Amino acid sequence: MISLEKLGYFLPQGFLFSDVSLQINRGDKIGLVGKNGAGKSTMLRLLTGQIQPSEGRIHLPKEMKIGMLSQDIKINTSKSVFEFLVTSNPVLTGLNEKIEHINEALTTRTDYESDSYLALLDELSDCNQSFQIHDGYNWEEKIMSILEGLGFDKEEVHRPLDTFSGGWKMRAELARILVNEPDALLLDEPTNHLDILSIAWLEQYLQRFTGAVILISHDRLFLDNVTKRTLDISMGRVLDFPFGFSKYKERREEDTERLEQAKKQQDKDIKQTEMLIEKFRAKQSKAAFAQSLIKKLDRTERIEIERDNYGGMRVRFPLSVQPGKWVLNMEGVGKTYEKNLFHSVSISVGRGEKIALLGPNGVGKSTLLKIMMNQINYDGKVEYGHNVGIGYFAQDQAEQLDPSLTIFETVDHVAKGEIRQQIRSLLGTFLFSGEDTQKKVGVLSGGERTRLALCQMLLSPSNFLILDEPTNHLDIPSKEILKNALLNYEGTFLIVSHDREFLAGLTNRIWDIEERQLKIHHFELDEYLKYKAPKDGKSTEKKVVEVEKIQEAPKVERIDRELQKKLQKVERNIEETEGKIATLEGLLADINYNDPSYHALLNEYNTLKANLEGLMEAWEKLAE
């Protein structure tokens, strides 16, 4: 499908990669990985023809359609989101206009028997047939399905696109690419502006997509669930692995270990050869032998290993003092902008709780965090507990850094007391060492700025962390290090994130903003996603309605009486179990996390949930 022949791309400071030859076939799901600056985005731009290779060739089939989502899209249009997509297919747009034009012409003519009138009818028939072949009659339905999957409300799709934020424009552009069904999809960080539910939807879409997919992402779980092949741009080469990301990492580590052993032996051999050259080069009788050793050394291909910069990166969030039993209390909290985001939120956060705040984009997650920080006006009351010290990481924290300051100055300005003596050591922990500390913030990448902003947080000991999308722009190793720091944090934290791999096993409670209310879930992240995900093409709301209808005994004709009795018994058990679960949810919502009975109640709750799932499966089998 796509063939790369001895491909190379050079920059003034040297080559990004060279002598790349590989084949990309229809149906391939490829993860493109490599360090920042290795040339991943450049490779995608080469494949789309935006830039030309320095050497070699790219062979593409004629009329092949490639859809590419880049990180720096620019959309300037007053069209609505729906109109932007409806007019995005030139073939269908042209056919639609032609059909309308012919229909208009037919209504004004009366020469029904003329050759030109009959020719017009034939042309209309051909256009309608072509429109049907291009699936034009399902075009608007496909558009709405994809927009809904990417998180757009039905009312929002008729708003002008230029009134949306950059993140929502990116979603609209992704929808435009997907709805036109290209032969190959090239996606550069597609999950950056998607919420956790939209990411799950996109993941399923790409799994079903029949064309080729080449994907750059810092979302490890997304890569694992979508890709079956990994291309690693490393030290000017492109290494091809027939595995998804996690298996690739294992194989890569094994290869690196073997290379390290081979390099040790090679270094030992080179050192011994250099000693012999030094020993014999001054002796006339051994000069020829020394020269042959020099030539042998020159011909030796030195083994190079790409070092992991993160090997020594260990981060801990220091605890200031122990707070009281509760760290935050909200009573009747609500917020309204043009629409009501949420209302009547009353909840306490106990010491030691680890909370994930989830929900689609636009429901008010960041707004709720700003209310906790008293940064905006709101209804209700927010109180902090005794001795509470907050560390806050805003979604735009990295952008708030002064671009005119150096890395060292940025940290030095917030450091106080004895910790100032450890600034260089702390910066080294975040991979800023030596001359790098004198770089201006303005020249740093998004990931480097995020690391620097997190470094600032370490200089202010806290016991309650409020983190709004701290993993944005972080690469996979950085996210793993941050997660490890939070797992070892002795205080309380509340975190907003759309990264499922990052959240898995990190929290013990989920807050979900749904229908303008704050709902509390005590199950794990994967169970939350199952709860929220549509089943068999039906919406979550429809699923809930159907579950409620189970309580209404279905009237099944000609059913065996014994089977009907079993069905009624299962229905009674479902009703009783749901009642017990509802009671426990109320108790768990009010109980302090440190209460000795909390874990016993949670275990009982989880047992009942598992029982309910078994009962539901039994009901489905009996009903069938």
Is residue 394 classed as helix, strand or coil in its secondary structure?
coil
The pLDDT, as a whole number, for residue 417 is: 63
pLDDT at residue 537, rounded to an integer: 45
460 pLDDT above the threshold of 80: no
Give the C-alpha separation, 3 to 573, whole Å: 60
- Residue 464: closest CA among 348, 367, 379, 366: 348
| pLDDT bracket for residue 43 (50, 70, 90) | very high
Distance separating alpha carbons of residues 189 and 48, to the nearest angstrom: 16
**pLDDT top residue among 282 and 112:** 112
pLDDT at 328: 93
Residue 228 has pLDDT above 90, yes or no: yes
Task: Tell me how crowded residue 553 is: count the other CB atoms within 10 A of its CB.
Answer: 11
Residues 56-102 pLDDT 10s: 999 998 889 999 998 777 788 889 999 999 999 999 989 989 988 88
122 Ramachandran zone, left/alpha/beta (phi>0; psi -120 to 50): alpha
In the chain, % helix, strand, coil (3-state, to 5) comes to 50, 20, 30
At residue 305, φ and ψ (nearest 5 deg) are -125, 130
Can you give the pLDDT at residue 39? 86
DSSP for 70-125, written as a single string: -TT------SBHHHHHHTS-HHHHHHHHHHHHHHHHHHH---TTSHHHHHHHHHHH
Identify the pLDDT of residue 550.
35
Mean pLDDT score across all residues of the chain: 83
Q: What is the mean predicted confidence (pLDDT) over 508-520?
A: 88
Q: CA 387: distance to chain centroid?
A: 36
- pLDDT tens digits, one per residue of 364-376: 888 999 999 999 9
Among residues 439, 445, 468, 433, the alpha carbon closest in space to that of 313 is found at 433
More confident residue, 575 or 150: 150
Angle at 345 between CA 340 and CA 351, to 5 degrees: 140
Q: What average pLDDT does the segment 604-620 reach?
A: 77
Fold of 326-530: Rossmann fold (3.40.50)
Token couple for 66: 């490639």
Q: What is the pLDDT of residue 542?
A: 39
Give 307's pLDDT tier (boundaries 50, 70, 90): low
Whole-prediction pTM = 0.71
Q: Which one of 245-249, 292-296, 423-427 scores highest in mean pLDDT? A: 245-249
Q: Identify which of 196-210, 335-349, 394-408 has the greatest average pLDDT.
A: 196-210
Query: What is the percent of the chain with per-residue pLDDT over 70, rounded to a whole number?
Result: 90
Q: Find the range with the poorest average confidence among 125-139, 329-343, 563-577.
A: 563-577
User: Among 53, 55, 37, which residue's Cα sits nearest to residue 45?
Assistant: 53
For residue 234, the model assigns a pLDDT of 87
List the chain domain ranges. Answer: 249-299, 326-530, 534-623
What pLDDT, in 10s, does the model give residues 89-116? 999 989 989 988 888 888 888 887 888 8
What integer pLDDT is reported at residue 216 of this predicted model? 93
